[in-house]
Structure 1
Amino acid sequence: MSLKQTIENEYKNALKSKDKNKISTYRLILSSIKDLDIVNRSGPNKKETDDEDIKKLLKKMVKQRAESIDIYKKNNRTDLLEVEQNEYDILKSFLPKQLSDDETKKICADVISKIGANSLKDMGKVMGELKKTHADEIDFSKAGSMIKELLNK
């Protein structure tokens, strides 16, 4: 079953259980997927929207929620924080599990030694290799700072 079908099924279940928070979040996701479908169908590179496109969209939405959560925490807006946190949790549930900081650091160190990187100039090579092998598992914003730290030693 595709990711889109999974989300649609979850949406139907939320409608049956009358869970207003989930319903609004699933509607938001499905609306964004529909927008993505329209973009993919028009323009020079016509293609069907696949699971990878949807994962990229969900990652972008998760990142937006994480930024909003930080802002709401700083400004003590618990009312808005709760809504964003619920959306964040639902969005994350459709993405592959991210590796922990320790696991990410170990993988970064392994890749650095594998390709023989020894300065910050090699950071692009290291990131490229990580994206090839661990695209869905690693938070690249964290990985970037870890790689800088490892290359500066």
Structure 2
Amino acid sequence: MTTLKAKLREDLTVAIKARDELRSSTLRLTLTAITKEEVAGKEARELSDDEVVKVIAKEAKKRREAAEAFAQGGRSEQSAREVAEGEVLDAYLPKQLSDDELTAIVAAAVEEAKAAGAEGPRAMGAVMKIVNPKVAGLAEGGRVAATVKQLLA
């Protein structure tokens, strides 16, 4: 069984041989971020696939934010590149939940929180505690929070 990190390395080698500059630079940066995470803290360690997915998700989020910033600054070429890099990374992430799927999970959590006595906008924390483990890696935090707020309003 190959690890996600090993798969990234293999794909990097293939991208370099194919002279795919975008893919190889994106994978290189991501592997660097993974290595940095592995040597952070008191002692170096190998990241689990779940931890590697978190690093990739963080990198993909950076790309989305940068693409947005470039687009707002009228720099469409850089924006397009960031979007393309984000798409390369998205291929390594679990499929994101659709809006309907996310709403259904949050709605169930809101009911659960109400049953436990938490209601209205103050129930936000209680609902997030229920929802987060269920959607970890499948939906971005901002999206989840927005859906929870909407359903609590």
TM-score by length of 1: 0.89
Offset at residue 47 of structure 1 (A): 4.3
Identity of aligned residues (%): 28
Query: Matches of 2:124 and 2:45 in 1, distance apart?
Result: 32
Q: Which residue of structure 1 lines up, in the alignment, with residue 13 of structure 2?
A: 12
Aligned residues: 149
Gaps (5+ residues) in structure 2? none
Matched position secondary structure for 2:94: coil
* Contact 2:39/2:45, CA 8 A, preserved across alignment: no
Q: Distance in 2 between matches of 1:109 and 1:74?
A: 34
Query: Which residue of the partner structure matches residue 56 of structure 2?
Result: 58
The CA distance in 2 between the partners of 1:84 and 1:105, in whole Å, is 29
Task: Name the SS of the counterpart of 1:136 in structure 2.
Answer: coil
The residue identity in structure 1 corresponding to 2:72 is K
Q: Kindly report which structure 2 residues correspond to 1:32-111, keeping only aligned pairs within 5 A, or say none.
A: 32-39=33-40, 42-43=41-42, 47-111=45-109
- In structure 2, how many angstroms separate the alpha carbons of the residues matched to 1:120 and 1:47? 41
* Counterpart in the other structure of 1:30: 31
TM-score by length of 2: 0.89
Q: Work out the CA distance in 1 between the residues paired with 2:122 and 2:76.
A: 43
CA distance in 1, matches of 2:109, 2:141: 14
Stretches of structure 1 that go unaligned for 5 or more consecutive residues are: none
